[in-house]
Amino acid sequence: MTFKRTEGFRFAFGEPIYAKYIVLIDGKPQDLEMTKYDCEILDVSPRGMKMFSYHDIGEHTNKLVQLEVQFILDEVLIKAVGDIVWKKPYGEKMQFGLIFDGQPQVETLIVNELKLRRKKEVSRK
């Protein structure tokens, strides 16, 4: 078996992680109130995530659509801005794939928080 240290990983949760997000259009909040929507994170990697939301994000032709997601994996609040790379309906919800590009501090924080979370999970067993 060959192991590539540069290859990414994805951590899937048994129970989805609760989070909130705001929609950014061309880098600015979609509305002045900066409405926060609830979502559930299904899996996460240092460079992206898969999530569910009951809120659908409409099509915005020729505009950059991003989500600023706020979540806690273990103890620290993480704020990451992700580009929507795909979306599809899933029952009553929408499923989104996000990629975090050019945010090395977020990547490091996600890795560190996942390590702490996993260490706690293993010690409970």
Which residues are within 8 A (CB) of 52 and not within 5 positions of it... i.e. 6 or more apart?
16, 39, 40, 42, 90, 93, 94, 95, 96
In a domain, residue 73? The reply is yes
Number of domains in the chain: 1
- Classify residue 10: in a domain, yes or no: no
Structure tokens at 118: 């996993």
Residue-wise pLDDT for 64-107, tens only, equals 889 999 999 999 999 999 999 999 998 999 999 999 989 999 99
pTM of the model: 0.85
Classify residue 6: in a domain, yes or no: no
